[in-house]
Structure 1
Amino acid sequence: MLCTTIQLWPQPTGSVSLSTTAVPVRADLFQLQVLDFTSQPVLEHLQNAFDIFRQELSFTEEQLRGFDEWYKVVVRVRINGSGDPRMRLDTDESYALSVQPEVGSVGTMAVYIIANSFCGARHALETLTQLIWLDPYAGSLLMLEAATIQDAPRFRYRGLMIDTVHNYFPVEELLRTIDAMATCKLNTFHWHATGAQAFSIMFNSVPQLAKFNAYGNTTIYTPDDVRTIARYARFRGIRVILEINVPAQIGQAWDWGPDLGLGELAYCSNLEPWYLYCDEPPCGQLNPRNDHIYNILERLFLEVTQLTGVDDLYHIGGDGMSDRCWTKYFNDTEPMDLWVNFTRKTLQSLQKVKGNLPKLTLIWSSQLCEKIKTDLKEYLNYIGLQARNVAWNENFVRGLRTVLSNEDVWDLNSGMGSWHEDSEGAPYNSWQKIYEYRPWASSSLGLLEGGEATVWSATLGSGGLEQRVWPRAAALAERLWSDRPEGATRPVQARLDVYRSRLNTRYNVKAEPIWSMWCSHNTYTCL
C-alpha cells in the first residue's frame, strides 16, 4: 500500500495525491460529523452508511495488538446538493475526499468529504475504506496519513443483472452480491425475477402470478425479502430494478384469467412442440387485446415502486416475442403492430402509477427497436434499449437511449455450457476481455446511459454465484466508472488482485483467483 502505485478500485477519474506514510487507527475511534443540515432522510442514510463503514473495518482484539495508542479519526461530510438519498438517473455521484492530520490536535486525523448527494458521499466512504488496511505484522489497522482525491463516474448507469428465474439464490447470497457491488461502485442491481420458468416474487397485488408459476414456497421471494434487499442496497448507493418481463416468456404465470372471469390473459403456454413458439420452455405470451392485462400491470408497477423506492427507472422485459404465437390467435393483424400497441398501453399503465412517465423505461433490444423510432416516437425520450448484441444492434440503437450489456463480452455465465443438448457452448469472458471492451470509443451506440454485466442462471445455482461473478464484475465496474483507455495491463491485474483480496478477507465474498497465490506474494516477479 505504501510502496507501490495507487491501489484504489475503481481508479478515480480526477486528481489523486497519496502519502507514503501511514498512522495506526481503530474502527471504534472513527467519528462522523455532518456539516450543515441537508435533509432527515440523507442524515439517516449517512449514519447507516457510516455504521457499515465502521463494521467493515472491525477486527478482533487479538488482531489489533500492536499499539498502545491509536489515532482518532473525525470524518466530516458536507452534502451540497440533493436531499433525496436514493440513486436516481440524475444523481450527481461525484465527490472530493481529503485526509490530513487535524490542525492543533495531536493524535487526531481529519477526513473531509464534499459531495452533491448521499450516493457521492457513500462512494467517498468506500474510497476511504480502501485507504485503510490491516497490517498483520504491525498488528494494527493503518491509514494513509494524507490523501486528496477528486472523483466522478464516466457513466451514470453501472449495473449487474442477476437472473433468479432459471435458478433460485437465497437472500443472503443476493445481499453479499450487493456488498461486493458497493465496493466497486456499481449502482444498479437489475433483478431479472420473472420469466418463462418461474415468477420468483410473490406480489401481494397479484399473488396468482407466483402461485401459478414458481418452483415452490421455499424458492419464492416475499415482499419483505424485496424490501430488505432494496433497503440494504439503498444504504450502499445502489438501486434495485425489478424487471417485469412482458409480453413474452411468461410461462404459465398468467393462466388463471378464466377462473376469475377475466378471460384469456395469455396464450401458447402449453403448445407443442415448444421450440416453434418460444426460445425456452415453457412458452407463453400475453393476450394484447385483453384490457385486464394493463390493469394488472398497473397494480404490479405500483407495488414494485412501493417495494423498491425506485420510480424513475423501470424494466419491462420485451424479450423472446414469438410472431407465430400471436399469428395463431390474431391473424387479422401483424404481430409487430400488436407489439407496438401493447408497448404503448404498458407505458400508459406506468404513467398512471405516478401521473407522469418514468424518466427511463428499459426493454431488451429486438426488432421493436425500429418501430420505436416511427410508431412510438412520442415515447422516444422515455424508452431505453438494453442492447445484448452490439454487432447486430448498432444500427438499431443509433438515436436511442441505450444500456449496453453485450453478452458476447459481458455475460458472466458465458462459457459454462448450456442446458440445450444440441447447442454450442459460448466462449468464457475473462476479466481481461471484459475490461478491454470499449465499443463507444469507435462506434456510434446511440445515447449511451452506461452498461451492465448479466448473469443468466440456467447452469448456475446457489453456492456458485460469488465465484462466477467476482472479480470479473469489478473489471466492468472500473471500465464504466473510470473508462481509462488502457487495456488489461499487468499493473491493472495487480490492482485487481488487491481488490479481490479485500473481497475475500473483509466481506467474505468468495471471489475467484486471477493468478497464482505465489504471484500475489511476489507481485513484481510476476509482472
Structure 2
Amino acid sequence: MEQTKILGVAMWLTLVCPTLQITINAEKEPVYLWPMPKSVVWGKISRPIPLSPMFQIVAPNHKNLQNAVSRYSRLVFTDHWFPIESSSAYDLHTSDPTVMPPLEQLNIRVQDLDADLQHGVDESYTLTIPAGGEANLTARTAWGAMRGLETFSQLLRRGSDASVCPIIIPRPVKIFDGPLYPHRGILLDTGRNFYTVKDILRTIRAMSYNKLNVFHWHITDSQSFPLDLPSEPALAQKGAYSSAMRYSQRDVRDIVEYGRNHGVRVVPEIDTPGHSASWAEAYPDIVACAGMFWWNPNSSWSDRLASEPGAGQLNPLNPKTFEVVRNVVDDVASLFPEDFFHAGSDEVVPGCWKTDPAIQKFVAKGGTLDQLLEKFVSTTHPYITSRNKTAVYWEDVLLDDTVKVRPEILPRETTILQTWNNGPNNTKLITAAGYRAIVSSADFFLFGLWPRRVAGQR
C-alpha cells in the first residue's frame, strides 16, 4: 500500500490519533501527553516551576489564533489533569534553591500567517520550556500553533500545595510534533439523529483537545433533510423532522467559524443518490420507491428497497433530479469554505430503482443499473469540481457488489474515496487503483445502533 495515498483516518463518533514514537531522556520520568508527540526531550537537571498568576500568551495578529490564545489563557488556570501515577517531573520543592521564578510568558511565532485551514496544511510545531526565562512556541502556520497550545495546556497541573503553588509546569523540555495523517476526523450523522448546534460545537471543542482536525458533517439522510438552503427551501421545510430541527445558514456559519477557531475543518456530506428518501417530501417525482416499506422479511435480502428503514433513491432518469441536485451543491458549496465536498454514493440498492416504471423501461431496453449510477455520478461530479471542490465518495461507488461505476467515471485528481467496509482490504483496492483514501473502517471505528441481523440474512 502506498503510504502517501492514505489521507487519514476517521471515526463515526470518536477517534484516537495514532500514537507516535516518543523520545524521552532516560533520566526523566515521562509526562503523559495526548496524543503523544513525536519527540519529547528533557534537560538533564530539571524541576517544575510555578505558573505566574500574571501569565500571558503573546501571539501574532491572526483572527483564529487570537481566539485560541484567549481560550487557552483561561484554560491554563481552570482545566488541569491529575496523574494516576506520580511523576518526578512534577516534584516541586519550594525550599530547593534550584526552583526558578514562575513562568510569566509563552511567546508564539508563526512563519506563514496566510496559510488557510485546508487539507494538507502544516500543523507541526516546536514547544520549548527552558530552564529559565520565557517559553516559546514556533510553528509554520497558525493551525500548528493551536496544536502546540493544546500540548502546553496538557503539561500544566495543580501543585500539591495550592496555597504555595496552585499551578506548575515541568521544565526544561523541548517538544516537537506533527501529524502522521493530514486528515483525522469524526463523522457526526444529523440526518438520522438531530443534534443541536450546541452539541456540535461541544463535539468540535472536544476534537481540538485530541488534535483531531476534520468534522465530517453527514448532514442529510433518508430520515431527514435538516439544512435550510436558499435555492431549495422546501427540502428542509418538508424534509426536516420539525421546524425546530433545522440548521439555518447562520447556524452553519457559526459552526464553520467555531471550527476554524479550534483548528477543525468542517466537511459537509449530502448523501446521494441513495439515502435520499427525505427529498421526496418536497420532490416526490425525483425519488424512486419513496414511501415504500424498506424490506419484506419474508423475501430475500437482495430484494430489499433499502439497507435500513427509509426507502428512497434519487432517479437519474428524471431531468428535475439534476436541477435540484445542482442547486443543493451550489448552496452547500457557498456555505462551506472547505475544499472537500462529500457526495455520499453509498448503499445504492437495486430493488429501489427497479420499482420505477421509467427505470424498468430503461433496463428492458438493455440498460443497466451501473449505467444509471454512472449517469448520476458523471453528471453531478462536475457540479462539485466546478466550485473548486474535491469530490469525496464512499467506497461503494467503485467497489459495491451490485451497483458501481467504472474507474474512468471518477477522475483520480478530483476524487477521494472513503472506506468503511471489509477492514483494510478495500483500502488496498482503492489505493492500488490510484485513488487517495480516507480510512474509517466500520470494523474498528463505527459507533452506532445497528439492527440485529436476521437469520439467513447476509
Whether 1:383 and 2:415 are equivalent positions in the alignment is yes
Paired residues for 1:188-207 under 5 Å: 188-207=214-233
Report the count of equivalent residues: 389
Paired residues for 1:486-501 under 5 Å: none
**TM superposition shift of 1:372:** 5.5
Unaligned 5+ segments in structure 2 are 1-26, 80-93, 95-99, 297-303
**TM superposition shift of 1:317:** 0.9
Whether 1:277 and 2:305 are equivalent positions in the alignment is yes
Residues 1:151 and 1:3: Cα distance change in structure 2 (over 3 Å): closer
**TM superposition shift of 1:101:** 5.3
Letter of the 1:301 partner, please give it: V
**SS state of the match for residue 363, structure 1?**
strand
Letter of the 1:409 partner, please give it: F
**TM superposition shift of 1:169:** 2.1
Paired residues for 1:116-265 under 5 Å: 116-135=140-159, 137-139=161-163, 140-257=166-283, 264-265=285-286
Letter of the 1:374 partner, please give it: P
Partners of 2:323 and 2:171 lie apart in 1 by 59
Partners of 2:397 and 2:370 lie apart in 1 by 8
**TM superposition shift of 1:199:** 1.3
Letter of the 2:207 partner, please give it: M
Residues 1:27 and 1:166: Cα distance change in structure 2 (over 3 Å): farther
Paired residues for 1:128-527 under 5 Å: 128-135=152-159, 137-139=161-163, 140-257=166-283, 264-272=285-293, 274=295, 276-310=304-338, 312-329=339-356, 330-331=359-360, 332=362, 333-354=367-388, 358=389, 360-366=390-396, 368-369=398-399, 374-377=407-410, 379-391=411-423, 393-394=426-427, 396-397=429-430, 398-399=432-433, 400-413=435-448, 418-419=450-451, 422=454
Paired residues for 1:33-182 under 5 Å: 33-34=59-60, 43-59=62-78, 71-81=102-112, 83-86=114-117, 88-100=118-130, 109-135=133-159, 137-139=161-163, 140-182=166-208
**TM superposition shift of 1:31:** 3.1
**TM superposition shift of 1:70:** 7.5
State the identity as a percent.
26
Residues 1:272 and 1:46: Cα distance change in structure 2 (over 3 Å): closer
RMSD across aligned positions (CA): 2.8
Partners of 1:8 and 1:235 lie apart in 2 by 22
Cα contact 1:243–1:315 (8 A) shared by 2: yes
Residues 1:7 and 1:169: Cα distance change in structure 2 (over 3 Å): same
Cα contact 2:293–2:309 (8 A) shared by 1: no
Tell which structure's C-alpha radius of gyration is larger.
2
**TM superposition shift of 1:188:** 0.4
Partners of 2:39 and 2:29 lie apart in 1 by 19
Partners of 1:99 and 1:372 lie apart in 2 by 54
Partners of 1:17 and 1:305 lie apart in 2 by 47
Residues 1:190 and 1:29: Cα distance change in structure 2 (over 3 Å): same
Partners of 2:153 and 2:406 lie apart in 1 by 46
Paired residues for 1:20-39 under 5 Å: 20-26=46-52, 28-34=54-60
Partners of 1:58 and 1:405 lie apart in 2 by 36
**SS state of the match for residue 219, structure 1?**
coil
In structure 2, what is the equivalent of residue 467 of structure 1? none
Residues 1:373 and 1:126: Cα distance change in structure 2 (over 3 Å): farther
Cα contact 1:295–1:349 (8 A) shared by 2: no
Partners of 2:233 and 2:335 lie apart in 1 by 15
Unaligned 5+ segments in structure 1 are 35-39, 61-66, 103-108, 259-263, 425-527
In structure 1, what is the equivalent of residue 21 of structure 2? none
Cα contact 1:298–1:353 (8 A) shared by 2: no
**TM superposition shift of 1:202:** 2.1
Cα contact 2:420–2:442 (8 A) shared by 1: yes
In structure 2, what is the equivalent of residue 471 of structure 1? none
Cα contact 2:398–2:406 (8 A) shared by 1: no
**SS state of the match for residue 408, structure 1?**
helix
**TM superposition shift of 1:28:** 4.8
Residues 1:318 and 1:273: Cα distance change in structure 2 (over 3 Å): closer
**TM superposition shift of 1:347:** 1.1
Partners of 2:223 and 2:452 lie apart in 1 by 15
Letter of the 2:291 partner, please give it: N
Letter of the 1:396 partner, please give it: L
In structure 2, what is the equivalent of residue 106 of structure 1? none
Deviation sequence 1:496-517 (CA, Å, 0-9, x none) = xxxxxxxxxxxxxxxxxxxxxx
* TM-score (norm. length: structure 2): 0.77
Letter of the 2:184 partner, please give it: R
Partners of 2:316 and 2:197 lie apart in 1 by 34
**SS state of the match for residue 328, structure 1?**
coil
Cα contact 1:340–1:368 (8 A) shared by 2: no
Which of 14, 17, 38 matches 2:42?
A: 17
Partners of 1:192 and 1:250 lie apart in 2 by 12
Cα contact 1:165–1:192 (8 A) shared by 2: yes
* TM-score (norm. length: structure 1): 0.68
Residues 1:221 and 1:136: Cα distance change in structure 2 (over 3 Å): farther
Letter of the 1:152 partner, please give it: G
